[in-house]
Structure 1
């Protein structure tokens, strides 16, 4: 223990009426800062994001300790570096996003069903998706009158065992076009694609719902997805040939 040194305290105007307490504490500042464990990083971006990341940092990683997981149905490419280290493992995910207008249409989405009137209103507000505005407005009119016509046909039925589903199916086939054409981006971005959309229908609690189906759009999506993913993967193979590429 080091010898204590005297402490000089100067107190001005002290009259001695009250005692003064002086507390002297000894301490020693730590010379070493607290050490924190490194944090793993997770990044998500567009489909080319893993490639973009590698182009800047491929020389900073051990390719033998990295992998790429490809999930084509989900349209994702995920790069993992330092795969066996909990603290320094980083994941960089690239994904292709459908355009907002394509998602709003609900094309090829089994969870989206339109009442005819609601679909007519939606198409009227989005008539810019049609190259021919007159065709759009004719379709809007047919959709708005669809339910009334179908109910009138049901009321005219003489056979009480007649099926509402059959009446609605006949209305779909006779009063709505087999398909209509739109020009909208399928994936996020400025590129617009022209394709046909067909009607399908189903009944819930006696009310008809329409679904929008487009085999042509699905073919374009699958083709674009595979070509875009393969293009990114080929560039990664050239840049970092020792990274394992896994298809889910």
Structure 2
């Protein structure tokens, strides 16, 4: 069908245009909710401060959830919201540090080998890989040599679980998403009954406990500098 124009009586200066084709689907507009890291709220405000009414904005802080939630216009259903949270980095979680999750020594060796870039000394990393790969074979051989043929294998394993695996080593990685990398000391814990292992770092735990509040406080200070009239509510 060709385009048609229809002039309405009394509305000579108005024109209605009919077009052939499918009209856009009807939809209700929704508010924008952005999910990001802990500095997302202050980054948003830094770029939008000139177009926002600070007195209509609210920042909600939840220290238990390690989150900062920005509501840009509390009375507007179509407002923007920004939720930033302090999360462990993917690399930190990948190593399972302090997670309590155990994996085989071969799996740990592969994990370290594929992520040796985080080690301060890569030669040390590869030495650790070799020790982990040979660990179970060494233990099984020693158990076999000491076996009393009376089924006491588990007890014997507990006695011979010693190796050249270093007591601790250093890795450099970000603990939290969006934060800089830092060097932490990590230990390998071995379970005697199945020889699976996990990584433990008391130092990383101390850093998490001591820095999360300081990181949140730092973000709130930046928000206050950008928008001094904004309301900040602690949950």
What's the TM-score, normalizing by structure 2?
A: 0.71
Structure 1 gaps of 5+ residues are 1-25
Residues 122-161 of structure 1: matches in 2 within 5 Å? 122-155=111-144, 156-158=146-148, 160=150
Separation (CA, whole Å) in 1 of partners of 2:231 and 2:196: 49
**Residues 49 and 92 in structure 1, CA contact (< 8 A), matched pair in contact too:** yes
Separation (CA, whole Å) in 2 of partners of 1:166 and 1:36: 70
* 1:49 Cα deviation after fit: 1.9
- Name the one with the larger strand percent: 2
* 1:214 Cα deviation after fit: 0.7
Q: Residues 76 and 129 of structure 1: is their aligned pair in 2 closer, same or farther, counting only changes over 3 Å?
A: same
Aligned to 1:181, which of 170, 175, 186? 170
Residue 51 (str. 1) matches residue 42 (str. 2): yes
Separation (CA, whole Å) in 2 of partners of 1:212 and 1:68: 37
Aligned to 1:199, which of 185, 188, 195? 188
What's the TM-score, normalizing by structure 1?
A: 0.68
Residue 245 (str. 1) matches residue 230 (str. 2): no
1:41 is aligned to: 32
Aligned to 1:69, which of 42, 53, 60? 60
* 1:62 Cα deviation after fit: 5.9
Length, aligned pairs only: 212
* 1:47 Cα deviation after fit: 2.0
* 1:198 Cα deviation after fit: 1.1
Residues 7-22 of structure 1: matches in 2 within 5 Å? none
2:211 is aligned to: 224
1:13 is aligned to: none
1:60 is aligned to: 52
